[in-house]
Amino acid sequence: MIYIKYTCSYFFFLFRKMPKHEVDYSLYLVTDSTPAILGDADICEVVEAALKGGVTCVQYRDKTSDTGVLVSTARKLHEVTRRYNVPLLVNDRLDVALAVGCEGVHIGQDDLDLPTARKILGEDAIIGVTVSNITEAEAAAKGGADYLGIGTVFATPTKENTKSIIGVEGLQQILLKIAAENWPVKTVCIGGINASNVSRVVWQSSAKGKSLDGVAVVSAIMASGDPEAASRDLAQLVKSPPAFARSVARLGQQMRSAQELLSLVPYVLRAVDSRNPLSHNMTNLVVQNFAANVALSVGASPIMANYGEEAADLARLGGALVINMGTVTPEGLTNYLKALKAYNDAGQPVVYDPVGAGATAVRRSAVKTILGGGYVDVLKGNQSEILSCVPGGSNVQQRGVDSESGSRNLQELGTAIKELARLRRHVVVMTGKTDLVTAGETVFAIENGHEYLGAVTGTGCCLGTTISAAVAAHPNDKLAATVAAVLYYGVAAELAAERPDVKGPGTFVPAFIDELYNVRKATVRGDLEWLKRAKVTVVS
């Protein structure tokens, strides 16, 4: 980089006076001149096509060319961007930006520091800063950055010196901090953003009061055979919620009473019975047979398919996906992600069971990958598994899952899962002696069930199967569907355990499958005697 020793007043007139508060960062193009991305295309022609397609801000990034080439190219680019009234920023090189007279610069953590850049360029210049954690974001926001380039969100070949992949979770944490501190700084995310994930990333990261102001895109436009069409598609996707967002629990649904939800339980079970929804289970071999039988008993149509390539066809059949992370392998993780994307694209529900989430580094990494790789409608697990999914870890002291209703620990757990549900917009189910369910506001405690459920392999996995049938059949109210499924499952276990032919866990399993079937059929007939057993309350 060329060092600059002139005062900002000398160069102040070079910058066109575009009001910074009017800058639209919604579709921010970062150029790449490398042959692997640009090929033999002309960079100015690609940028102009992208501007025609809807790009709202352009950053010229070239880490290899000499200064003369950089200045010459930047001038040509600036002529193009000015015709479209779009700001041009230069990556890293303040000297090039000053020579060209463009609107500003973007600097990374290893480039010239922000205070010096501001002193040189003046207050009217746009200065963006790359950040990948809260500490860097705080320094840039307090230091007067106009916007933050947050990333790298996903792995990308266009940036080799990536310090870390932060995923959607890391992006959310930075946005939450900005919202909490009320820092007046704009935000864009960068890193692996393309047409397949942009709607989801924008939608997921906008929880709790701070939304992204835009997305930064590189190869999805620069490497496209038709950059104008690619930009037009991306500009539309940035503004469009993903398919699955239409059925996320609304605030009114989240704040009902226990009695209101109990009144919906018969409707959920009858919907499953009448619709016979597909329950696509990706689970381990130990559980597959049991899960298939449970699915049939509750009225669903099971398929045990662990190959991700099948998911696109299966997702179009109107059912739900269960990802049960009982066995973690690289191949399995790849298949999970393919299936997750397929169901997200189809707008069909996904139930995720992060089995053993906190047990090993491999499982912790897998959970982060899955939650960052798509949207999960229902997150179900035991206490340790669910708390392991809380971004940044949980402050709840884990005293076990046997806490009674009304205990301080149950209230702490309810608060933790409520925050998790709000952040990720899941329905969260934490299983234990008392099961907790929430979509982000009211936390429902369900105390039905039997100890035999904990003495048989796969009962937790099969609860996920039962929930999948309910949310597939009753998709517009997934909270009610989930509460209904958990309650139904618990009462069936109680009824099975009380049968005279049940002597222990071995005889419990067939009786349990029987009672799941019997309760469903009784409900369809209008016999709701079993529902009198319901122990559903609200955790204050």
Prediction pTM value: 0.87
Distance from C-alpha of 483 to C-alpha of 135, rounded to nearest angstrom: 40
Radius of gyration of the chain (CA): 27
User: CB atoms < 10 A from the CB of 226, how many?
Assistant: 12
Q: According to the CATH classification, is domain 247-539 in 3.90.180.10?
A: no
CA 3 → CA 94, 98, 118, 120, 534, distances in Å? 9, 12, 14, 11, 73
Query: Is the torsion defined by CA of 254, 257, 263, 265 positive or negative?
Result: positive
What is the per-residue pLDDT across 292-325, written as a single tens digit (0 to 9) for each? 999 999 999 999 999 999 999 999 999 999 999 8
Answer yes or no: are the C-beta atoms of 287 and 309 closer than 8 Å.
no
What is the per-residue pLDDT across 407-430, written as a single tens digit (0 to 9) for each? 558 889 999 999 899 888 899 999
pLDDT of residue 156: 75
Q: Environment class of residue 261 by beta-carbon count within 10 Å: exposed (0-12), middle (13-18) or buried (19+)?
A: buried
- Beta-carbon contacts of 234 under 8 Å, excluding residues fewer than 6 positions away, are 27, 53, 54, 194, 195, 198, 215, 217, 220, 221
* Beta strand 443-446 pairing with 435-438: antiparallel
pLDDT of residue 268: 98
Q: Tell me the residue type at 528.
A: L
**Helix or strand run (H / E) with residue 215:** strand 214-217
Q: Which residue has the tokens 């329905």?
A: 427
Q: Which member of 102, 189, 389, 461 is catalytic?
A: 461
Q: Number of helices (H) and strands (E), helices first, in the chain?
A: 22, 17
pLDDT of residue 80: 98
DSSP assignment string, 296-357: HHHT-EEEE---GGGHHHHHTTT-EEEEETTS--HHHHHHHHHHHHHHHHHT--EEEE-TTT
Q: Environment class of residue 181 by beta-carbon count within 10 Å: exposed (0-12), middle (13-18) or buried (19+)?
A: middle
Q: Which two tokens stand for residue 98?
A: 């000053």
Residue ranges, the chain, pLDDT below 70: 1-18, 157-163, 207-209, 251, 392-408
pLDDT of residue 395: 61
DSSP assignment string, 60-123: E--SSS-HHHHHHHHHHHHHHHHHTT--EEEES-HHHHHHHT-SEEEE-TTSS-HHHHHHHH-T
- Give the torsion through C-alpha atoms of 453, 459, 465, 469, to 10 deg: -20
Q: Which residue has the tokens 């950040």?
A: 131
Q: Environment class of residue 52 by beta-carbon count within 10 Å: exposed (0-12), middle (13-18) or buried (19+)?
A: middle
Our answer to whether residue 461 is catalytic in this structure is: yes
| Domain extent listing, the chain | 8-241, 247-539
Q: Three-state secondary structure along 229-267?
A: HHHHHHHHHHHCCCHHHHHCCCHHHHCCCHHHHHHHHHH
CATH topology of domain 8-241: TIM Barrel (3.20.20)
